[in-house]
Amino acid sequence: MLTVKEVSVFTTEVNRSKFITYLVPISEYKGLQEKLKTKYPKANHVVYALRSLNAYDQVVENSSDDGEPKGCAGVPALNVLRGEELINCAVLIVRYFGGIKLGTGGMARAYALSVKNVTREAELAVYEKQIPYEFTTDYSQIDKTLYALKQYGIVRIERDYGVECVKWRIYASEEKIKEFTQH
């Protein structure tokens, strides 16, 4: 499975209709549809599709046609995410109507094409399940610990400063946590 690390945007034009496609990590998805509707007030539709893993490692999928004919927008976008084996990401497509009706089949192909185009341009990475790991250090060890975490590519870090020690919570793949704890 693959995932995306950062937001990618690509514009596809089909029969003068413009499809501005955003491929985002699932952490960036919440509230983005409303932001895009505000950013593009004259757009006809903001369609989305998403795939993520829940706490039980089950794939959760959702899509919306946002007023387009049922099954002509969100489902084709979701099918591309499935085909590309993308997980923990969402795709949002802003559509400007170009004056030429595409028909239901043409619309489904156009939405699928817009998602394929953005996935070709996006920087994809192999998905690694992130698990939490907690540990404590003395205050004198903060800089050394941050340096070590950076060396192992662990970037998702939370810290709580207690009276006597620093409590750390990091999120990384099992392999990276194992390497870090054995150093």
Q: What is the pLDDT along the chain (183 residues), one digit of tens a residue?
A: 999 989 999 999 999 999 999 999 998 999 999 999 999 999 989 999 999 988 788 999 999 999 999 999 999 999 999 999 999 999 999 999 988 999 999 999 999 999 999 999 999 988 888 889 999 999 999 999 999 998 888 878 999 999 999 999 998 888 889 888 887
- Looking at the fold, whether 54 and 98 belong to one and the same domain comes out as yes
- Looking at the fold, whether 84 and 118 belong to one and the same domain comes out as yes
Q: Which residue type, as a one-letter code, is found at position 177?
A: I
Report the alpha-carbon distance of residue 112 to residue 105 in Å, rounded: 11
Tell me the sheet residues that pair with 25: 89
* Count of structural domains, the chain: 2
Q: The domain containing residue 56 runs over which residues?
A: 2-126
- Looking at the fold, whether 119 and 148 belong to one and the same domain comes out as no
pLDDT of 13: 96
- Looking at the fold, whether 45 and 114 belong to one and the same domain comes out as yes
| This model's pTM is above 0.75 | yes
- Looking at the fold, whether 94 and 154 belong to one and the same domain comes out as no
- Looking at the fold, whether 94 and 153 belong to one and the same domain comes out as no
- Looking at the fold, whether 145 and 170 belong to one and the same domain comes out as yes
